[in-house]
Chain A
Amino acid sequence: EAGVTQSPTHLIKTRGQQATLRCSPISGHTSVYWYQQALGLGLQFLLWYDEGEERNRGNFPPRFSGRQFPNYSSELNVNALELEDSALYLCASSGNSDSIKTQYFGPGTRLLVL
């Protein structure tokens, strides 16, 4: 069974630009989560999508947004990039059949903002 995949693995942008990160969940999973790990910090919850809708959002500004497509894949968009957005962005997915909602992670996209 294929795991969660993310693309690209690395992304370099300059301040003010927009970044788009992509995630494909495990087949059959309908929920997708996005996390940020900035240097020296733990994983911070960004967004949760389920069945195409945003269900929950972490403490991040509105320039962090995303969407979930009918095939349950997801995009994270970061507008007006700032230097402090440089981080590892992890995507995870979970399935509805799991009442505990264990999250399975992808390998991440490392974003560098210059």
Chain B
Amino acid sequence: ILNVEQSPQSLHVQEGDSTNFTCSFPSSNFYALHWYRWETAKSPEALFVMTLNGDEKKKGRISATLNTKEGYSYLYIKGSQPEDSATYLCALGGNFNKFYFGSGTKLNVKP
């Protein structure tokens, strides 16, 4: 079992604030790191998949970085909007297609 940790557990920000959260994972035998956004009553939505140390991915106001040597990934949201309110999950992809999920960061953006 691989331990994937996310912090903080929850976050409350005002509309327009920028925010970031962390996913930590064992750095040995790294394969891929996935970020998902999960809105209440909807399906988790794939945001990014990152495979190389130093990877940076961007989708609109959301971006992510990856450091496989020290075992962490950051997710950044610039100018948060109420529609960004969701739980953000990271998952470590490994051999045999088994994903190890963190417990998520629940973001609440107040208008």
Contacts and interface: CB of A to CB of B under 8 A. Distances in A.
Contacts of B98: 45, 48, 56, 58
A100 interface: yes
Given A42-B101, A42-B103, A100-B49, A107 B96 contact: no
Interface stretch (B11-19, B39-47, B64-72, B73-81): B39-47
A102 B42 contact: no
Contacts of B100: 45
A46 to B, nearest CB: 10
Contacts of B30: none
Given A55-B97, A56-B98, A4 B43 contact: yes
A39 interface: no
Contacts of A41: 103
Contact of A100 (B36, B43, B51, B103): B51
B101 A43 contact: yes
Contacts of B44: 90, 105
| Size class of the contact patch on chain B | 20 to 34
Contacts of B99: 33, 43, 45, 103
5 contacts: A42-B89, A56-B96, A100-B32, A101-B97, A104-B46
A31 B99 CA distance: 13
Contacts, number: 60
Interface residues of A, number: 27
Nearest to A56: B96
A58 B94 CA distance: 13
A48 B97 contact: yes
Interface string A24-57: 0000000101010000011111001010000110
A100 B57 CA distance: 15
Given A41-B103, A102-B34, A94 B41 contact: no
A59 interface: yes
B97 A33 contact: yes
Given A43-B89, A45-B98, A106 B103 contact: no
